Structure 1
Amino acid sequence: MIFTMLLMDRPGTADLRVQVRPEHRAYLAKMADRMAFAGPLTSEDGKTTLGSLIAIDFPSRADVDAWLKDEPYTKAGVYEKPIINVFNNMWTQKAGFPPSP
């Protein structure tokens, strides 16, 4: 079952986010085969990071919670309280929308 995680950053954690990013990306990479999508949420200028939106296939909510507990941004205190929901993909992903660099 795909779970989405809306993870907004705590105010004042921009520098911490940059510092922890390599560990965060390595942690996400371990889930690449189960990931529907993942990436930062930004302000309209596309430069100021506000949080993350992640969708990963997990067997249960308990598995999501366990994974998120060990997620580097969570452990470092970057994220505020997560909003987690089940996601039912009802639309085929469009070709031509590759990941951003």
Structure 2
Amino acid sequence: MIYIFHLLDQPGAADLRQRVRPDHKAYLAQQAERIAFAGPLLADDGQTMVGSLLAIDFADRAAAQRWLSQEPFFMAGLYAGTAVHAFANLWPQKAGFPPT
């Protein structure tokens, strides 16, 4: 099942995000075959990262939570809030995805 991770950064944590980002990307890469989509949430300026939105296939919620508990941004204390929800993808994506 796909699980959505809605992850919001602590205010003023841009430096922490940049320092830990290489580890975060490497950790995500370990799940590359199971990622439906992933990317930063942006402020209204379209550039400032304020969180993350990830959609990853896991066997169950417990596996998704275990994965999040070891995620580098999470472990570094970047997030002010986290939410994990099961997700059913019922719409064929057309907009916002890079060409293959």
Settle same-fold status: TM greater than 0.5.
yes
| 8 Å contact from structure 2 (residues 2, 88) kept in 1 | yes
1:13 equivalent to 2:26? Answer no
Aligned partner of 2:58 in structure 1 is 58
* 2:67 counterpart residue number: 67
After superposition, where does 1:32-51 map in structure 2 within 5 Å? 32-51=32-51
Give the stretch that moved more between structures: 17-26 or 74-83: 74-83
Is 1:89 the counterpart of 2:92? The answer is no
Tell me, which stretches of 5 or more residues in structure 2 are unaligned?
none
Q: Percent identity?
A: 56
Deviates further, 89-98 or 38-47: 89-98
Aligned to 1:30: 30
Give distance in 2, aligned partners of 1:96 and 1:40.
13
Aligned amino acid, residue 35 of structure 2: M
Name the TM-score, length of structure 1 as normaliser. Answer: 0.92
Distance 1:57 1:48, change over 3 A: same
Residue aligning to 1:4: 4
Following TM superposition, by how much is the alpha carbon of 1:92 offset from its aligned partner in structure 2, in angstroms? 1.3
Q: Could you list the structure 1 runs, at least 4 aligned residues long, displaced by more than 3 angstroms after superposition.
A: none
TM-fit CA distance, 1:97: 2.8
The normalised TM-score by structure 2 is 0.93
Structure 1: 5+ residue runs without aligned partners? Answer: none
Deviation (angstroms), 1:95: 7.1
User: Once the 2 structures are TM-superposed, how far is the Cα of residue 44 of structure 1 from its aligned partner?
Assistant: 1.7
Greater fraction of residues in strand: 2
